[in-house]
Chain A
Amino acid sequence: KAGVTQTPRYLIKTRGQQVTLSCSPISGHRSVSWYQQTPGQGLQFLFEYFSETQRNKGNFPGRFSGRQFSNSRSEMNVSTLELGDSALYLCASRDTLTDTQYFGPGTRLTVL
């Protein structure tokens, strides 16, 4: 089975721009979660989608949003980028039988 894929792997944006990141979960997995990883804060939960519905949401501002499509692929969008949004954004696919999550390689976003 193919693993979780994320595109693009690297992005450089400037303050005020917006960005869209994409994630394709493991085949058969219907739950996708997004996390932000920074050296200072570690891994922090952004949101989770299951069958196109947002099931959980972390403590991030409304500039961070996401969606999930009928094929379980997910996108997250960050609007009005700030310098502090520079981070590794990770997508995880959940196996609902074992309740374990498998991560993709991440998208490294740099905001200048």
Chain B
Amino acid sequence: QKEVEQDPGPLSVPEGAIVSLNCTYSNSAFQYFMWYRQYSRKGPELLMYTYSSGNKEDGRFTAQVDKSSKYISLFIRDSQPSDSATYLCASHSGNTPLVFGKGTRLSVIA
């Protein structure tokens, strides 16, 4: 079992929809949780960062971490065609390497 599991999609939604992206993880020591967005032929861009459990909101993006169920979520409100990208979840336990999910490819159709 991989330490971070993520449904690869692809996921296709109409413009304006609410998008829910999810990951599960198995390592109880993970304390730091990130979401990266990667456009084609580019490096991953840090989107959201959360420490331990809880919610974090930044504009149209909300990240949620539930450590009791080892579940990580990213919600995108009012999705735009420019949100079309691959979204990667990642975790680590502090001074340890990032462990990534395989990424979910999202397409937002105008």
User: A48 vs B101: C-alpha distance in the bound complex, in angstroms?
Assistant: 19
A103 in contact with B97 given A42-B103, A43-B88, A98-B49 (CB within 8 Å): no
- Tell me the chain B residues, 8-47 only, with Cβ under 8 Å from chain A: 32, 34, 36, 41-46
Q: Do B45 and A103 touch across chains, with their CB atoms under 8 A apart? A: yes
Interface bin, chain B = 20 to 34
User: A45 vs B4: C-alpha distance in the bound complex, in angstroms?
Assistant: 13
Q: Do B43 and A101 touch across chains, with their CB atoms under 8 A apart? A: no
A80 interface residue (CB < 8 Å to B)? no
A70 interface residue (CB < 8 Å to B)? no
B100 interface residue (CB < 8 Å to A)? yes
Q: Cβ of B68: which chain A residues have Cβ within 8 Å of it?
A: none
- Tell me the chain A residues, 94-112 only, with Cβ under 8 Å from chain B: 98-106, 108
Interface of A is mostly: strand
CB distance from B85 to the nearest CB of A (A): 14
Q: Which residue of chain B lies nearest to A33 when distances are taken between CB atoms in the complex?
A: B97
User: A41 vs B96: C-alpha distance in the bound complex, in angstroms?
Assistant: 20
Q: Do A100 and B49 touch across chains, with their CB atoms under 8 A apart? A: yes
Q: Cβ of A58: which chain B residues have Cβ within 8 Å of it?
A: 97
User: A90 vs B88: C-alpha distance in the bound complex, in angstroms?
Assistant: 14
Q: Do A103 and B49 touch across chains, with their CB atoms under 8 A apart? A: no
Q: List 15 A-B contacts (CB under 8 A).
A: A42-B103, A48-B97, A56-B96, A58-B97, A98-B49, A99-B94, A99-B95, A100-B49, A101-B46, A102-B46, A103-B36, A103-B45, A103-B46, A104-B43, A106-B43
